[in-house]
Structure 1
Amino acid sequence: MSNKSIFFKFRNRFDFSPHVYDIGRPLFSNRKLEDNFFLLKIYEIDESDYGLFYDFQLGFYLKTNGKEEVFFNHVCDIVLSRIRHFKRQDPFTSKYASGLEQARKLEAFLAFLKSVDRWHKVEPLESVIGEKDKLIDQLKGRVAELEAQLKQAREFDANEKIVITNGYIAAFMDLIEQLQGLSLGDKKLATSQGQSPWYKMIAKYFMHGDKPISIDTARNYFPARKNDKPSKYLNISEEDKLFKIVPKNK
């Protein structure tokens, strides 16, 4: 085997300011042990750097070698092999504690590998398919639920809209405002916690002449607070107040 690294980028000899993701020692590195040096770097860097480290070494490999899948499989194999090595260690030896910490780092790196695994190397294809099938079943259930809600909502749709005579939308809005103020003794005839049911009803079921009434236009006739009307509020002039609703007994 050649002493030249096959998979990973080493730091140059006597280079005391290498790239942070280079592997190896400054004076001499046995490049036949490149897998070990790669794993040592995993132990040294923060878990948040795993993606950048992997991409850096992958970029080096792709410049002189073949496919990303080959690189991924090699990295995955050495990580899994070393995790198994640490898990088999005698728990009564002095190396066991440090081995557990290294195994934890490797398992974190393995979790990263799962996130970029397009070849189902880390998890069997059957497991991935099972998860996908489970997700599909959940989505099918959600779709059925939404379709039922849509069907129920469409039961209230009308085949046509009520037409307000062109030029008299303000007069109609005045009637709605009067309707909100009608009382039956100490109770209101029609109440709502906010104004949205009124203007949404008008936008959905009414037209002004041959044109639809946008929800924004309808909303501008119904300020949320009567005493604090917004700048876009459409005030109804006295000349548009053509009707007056009064109790029958008056």
Structure 2
Amino acid sequence: MTGSLVVVGTGPGKPELMTPAARMALAKATDLVGYGLYLDRVAVRHGQCRHASGNRAELERARLALALAASGRDVVLVSGGDPGVFAMAAAVFEAVETGEPAWRSLDIRVEPGVTAMLAAAAEVGAPLGGDFCAISLSDNLKAWATIERRLQAAAEADFVIALYNPASSARRRQLAQAFDILRAAKTGATPVLFVRAAGTSEAKVTATTLANADASTADMRTLIIVGASTTRRIGRWIYTPRGEQGMSS
């Protein structure tokens, strides 16, 4: 008997930002697998098995979910935000690529969710209204030199840049270095938004400029948006026009 695996995201925080498709998958599951913090956001119905693990155990979680599905269980792997953006969906397919050959024939589905940068942007208006990119500042899985190259390229191309994983208790220098790289290519007046706990009732926005951005104020619950040359402020709202016709003279 072969089961199934659905990878879902809880959204950025508010229960109403979890999609109906994710809720349906959760309701049908025999097993819920995930980081304990995210599993705590999900109601467990009678008869479901809950498999919680620590924050750094992504591949182990993915392998457990795949093994359970291969044994005939209907598994939901719970991620935060959108499971396909710096999250668990990629870990699942990495585990499939390097794991049991039988896992390649499993019924695997990814349900899209609301990722942190979309929730952060909605708190302030429409800063992602034009071309943008997302870069994770975590160098746990890639070299810092790779991150530096991507920051330089994004800044020189004048993208709005969403910075994920800007800081943690063990990573305090990366964000300050990232701001230094961006200051070399963007003006000091470039808008910078620190959005903490986006999509929750605790959301807090700090709007500043690249010249005044203070890296020490960020933590792992902070999403940072660095504007483009076209990004502008209208009262309390910040937005980026959809095209070059929005550029100020």
**TM-score > 0.5 by shorter chain:** no
Going by fraction, where is helix more abundant, 1 or 2?
1
In our comparison, the structure showing a higher alpha carbon Rg is 1
Report the TM-score range of the alignment, normalised by the length of the smaller protein.
under 0.3
TM-score normalised according to structure 2 size: 0.22
Q: Which has the higher contact order (CA 8 A, sep 6+)?
A: 2
Name the one with the larger strand percent.
2
